[in-house]
Amino acid sequence: MHITVVGTGYVGLVVGACLAETGNDVVCADIDHEKIDGLKRNVMPIYEPGLGDLVERNQQQRRITFTTDVGGAIRTSEVVFIAVGTPPDEDGSADLRHVLEVAALIGQHMTREMVIVTKSTVPVGTARKVAAVVSKNATFPFHMCSNPEFLKEGAAVEDFMRPDRVVLGVESDSARSVMAELYAPFVRTGKPIIFMDIASAELTKYAANGMLATRISFMNEVANLCERVGANVDQVRKGIGSDARIGPSFLFPGPGYGGSCFPKDVKALLRTGNEHGASMRVLDAVEQANERQKHRLFEKLAAVLTDGLRGRRIAVWGLAFKPQTDDMRDAPAVTLIDELLAAGAQVVAHDPVAMPEARRRLGDRIAYADTNYDAVDGADALIVVTDWNQFRHPDFQRIKAGLARPIVIDGRNLYDPARMAALGFTYRSIGRGNE
């Protein structure tokens, strides 16, 4: 098929590359000239394992091309995916400006009957708005489809190539047929393609992220209670996660969720509920709990450094909101760093991938270390924020020798409290009693 993907962010670039990998002719279009120029040279604008190789291979074999001529790309297409950003507006609602701008271009430049797919995360009713905008100029029939993405940053290529399920909201046999053919190569192992009405598909994405965010905030609340009553959240997690009705996923406590999806989608779902007179009190509590949790690491450090933080040098391991990505949007590390700087501390940070993004966001407000061990040299404490594999089994003697004070605040429960105590560290983690 001839496919155009408008938008080359996390979603659009992964979608385009993976669809090209199965033999389709794909054009990825974006108005960002610098990004498109880089992609033509196989320079990735994001860090995502496996994506660079996928783009380079398919570009070499001419199955994927990149352009800033969005209208021209639309003119050649049978299927157009809208994968532009939907940032949160000031009131928490999704900003659909870019989505509707693409819809207008589709109406102006389409040259044949086509399927228009909303791939961006959008609230219920967006496909209807897109169709209305397209219709103003369209001279050919078109069919709407809502195809929410369920891609985990750090595993996006794997998620697309081997999905748990494919959700397709369609309301015509033509759209159903085209999309079933397009996704057939990805579900050969028997994973389902779930067809539903468009409104249900639009809501499914938000509901899924809302549920996952709920599990994270719930477990963080349990972890905080564990600290008060002397329980161990690791044992509680295993105890409830072994229940088949609950399962073990997303039950790891930490410094709160971040990234491009959960914070934005929770806000948007709350806004949608309020607009339709169905306030979502549970989700409201989830968001509040997450905001509180982002302050826990600072609170733990302040409780240990009783002589204050002014002038103290604090090492931070991990800046991305999760491992295997350079995404720092709503990252807990940013909240922590802001608090440390406000308290008069100096921050030296290391992240295996997100250092360029951190320099872009934070500038010279903090210092940057080439390695995680360089970060601890001369520091009064170490705070582990992101659970990169490189941080899981460090040289503790090297850490202790580098630190001015043997203080470790572990925001991901990577280390054993008994071992850390035996090594002479003052150690604090999340929800594992009073270490």
Nearest to 403 by CA among 426, 378, 370: 378
DSSP assignment, residue 366?
A: S
Q: 261 catalytic, yes or no?
A: yes
DSSP characters over 56-117: HHHHHTTSEEEES-HHHHHHT-SEEEE-----B-TTS-B--HHHHHHHHHHHHH--S-EEEE
Exposed/middle/buried for residue 209 (C-beta within 10 Å: 0-12, 13-18, 19+): buried
SS (H, E, C) 10-43: HHHHHHHHHHHHCCCEEEEECCCHHHHHHHHCCC
Distances (CA, A) of 418 to 348, 355, 429, 435: 27, 32, 12, 8
Token pair of 124 as six digits: 């219920």
Residue 286 in contact with residue 270, Cβ under 8 Å? Answer: no
Distances (CA, A) of 262 to 48, 138, 210, 411: 18, 35, 7, 19
Distance CA 420, CA 249 (A): 27
Name the active-site residue from 18, 145, 226, 261. Answer: 261
Cα–chain center distance at 132? 30
> Token pair 């409830």 is at which residue?
240
Distance CA 51, CA 63 (A): 15
User: How many other β-carbons are positioned within 10 Å of the β-carbon of residue 189?
Assistant: 7
Distance CA 204, CA 121 (A): 10
* Active-site residue list: 261
